[in-house]
Amino acid sequence: MPTIDQAKVMAKRLRSALAAREIEIPHALSLELIAAELGHRDWNTAAATLSPSTTGSMSFRQTIPILRIFDVAKAREFYCDFLGFVVTMEHRFEPRMPLYMGVERAGLELHLSEHHGDASPGSTAFVWMKGIKLFHAELISKQYGYGRPGVVRQPWGQQMEVHDPFGNRIRFCQKHS
């Protein structure tokens, strides 16, 4: 049985997965749905029943790769229009300053930054996923003018690599079943 914090993460992922399919639900509803999935009457019952996070112990929650970008319009075209991510946040210290932007799809969050010190161009992020063949078919159907990724069998799984306009690579991989 997950902890309360793990259930909250599940609710966030559910919301992201639905948003990727253009289905927007409030956070409270995602909590209620996760509570029902875990066999509880409602979120309040789940919150009272699930074990709290263990305080004093160390745990890692999520890795969020930061990828360097140089052109916001090209970044949106690649990450949003082609890969299907949605923008979750944007930050500039002042107008005309470099942009720091978060994008998310189906539980995967990436940060894209125009700031010189945040990341090096040409980085690679490795992402475990499920449904790689569906994702591949979706990308190919878009007929993106700057790349048509293929799925390659590797010893660790089926892998598809995409290259953004800034030299960064994302390797999506599904373990062999």
pLDDT of the residue at 82: 97
Q: Which of the four pLDDT bands, split at 50, 70 and 90, describes residue 56?
A: low
Residue 152: which domain range? 66-174
Position 6 scores a pLDDT of: 87
In a domain, residue 105? The reply is yes
Q: What percent of the chain has pLDDT over 70?
A: 97
Q: pLDDT per residue over 23-34, tens digit each?
A: 999 888 999 999
Structural domain contains residue 100: yes
Stretch 134-156: mean pLDDT, rounded?
Answer: 94
30 and 73 fall within a common domain = no
User: Do 79 and 110 form a contact (C-beta atoms < 8 A)?
Assistant: yes
pLDDT of residue 124: 96
The answer to whether residues 71 and 43 belong to one domain is: no
Say if 86 falls within a structural domain. yes
Amino acid sitting at position 71: D
Partners of 64 in beta bridges: none
State the pLDDT at residue 1: 75
pLDDT band at 106 (very low <50, low <70, confident <90, very high): very high
**What is the structure's pLDDT at 47?**
86
What is the Rg, in whole angstroms, of the alpha carbon atoms belonging to the chain?
18
What does DSSP say about strands 100-105 and 86-91: parallel, antiparallel, or unpaired?
antiparallel
* Domain match, 80 and 44 both: no
**Mean pLDDT for the chain overall:** 92
Reduced 3-state DSSP string for 27-74 = HHHHHHHHHHHCCCCCHHHHHHHCCCCCCCCCCCCCCCCEEECCCHHH
Percent of residues, the chain, with pLDDT higher than 90: 69
Buried b (16+ CB within 10 A) or exposed e, 44-62: eebeeebeeeeeeeeeeee
CA distances from 158 to 13, 115, 164 (A): 23, 33, 20
Q: Quick one: pLDDT at residue 49? A: 87
CB atoms inside a 10 Å sphere around CB 11 = 22
pLDDT mean over 54-68: 80
In-domain check, residue 55: no
The amino acid at residue 153 is R
pLDDT of residue 120 exceeding 70: yes
Q: Are residues 161 and 115 in the same domain?
A: yes
Helix (H, G, I), strand (E, B) or coil at 102: strand
What strands lie across the sheet with 151-154, from one edge to the other? 124-128, 169-174, 157-163, 151-154
Note whether residue 57 is domain-resident. no
Residue 79 pLDDT: 98
Predicted pLDDT at 54: 60
The two tokens of residue 46 are 């789940």
The dihedral through the CA atoms of 69, 138, 126, 161 has a sign that is negative
Among 1-5, 55-59, 77-81, which range has the highest average pLDDT? 77-81
The pTM score is: 0.69
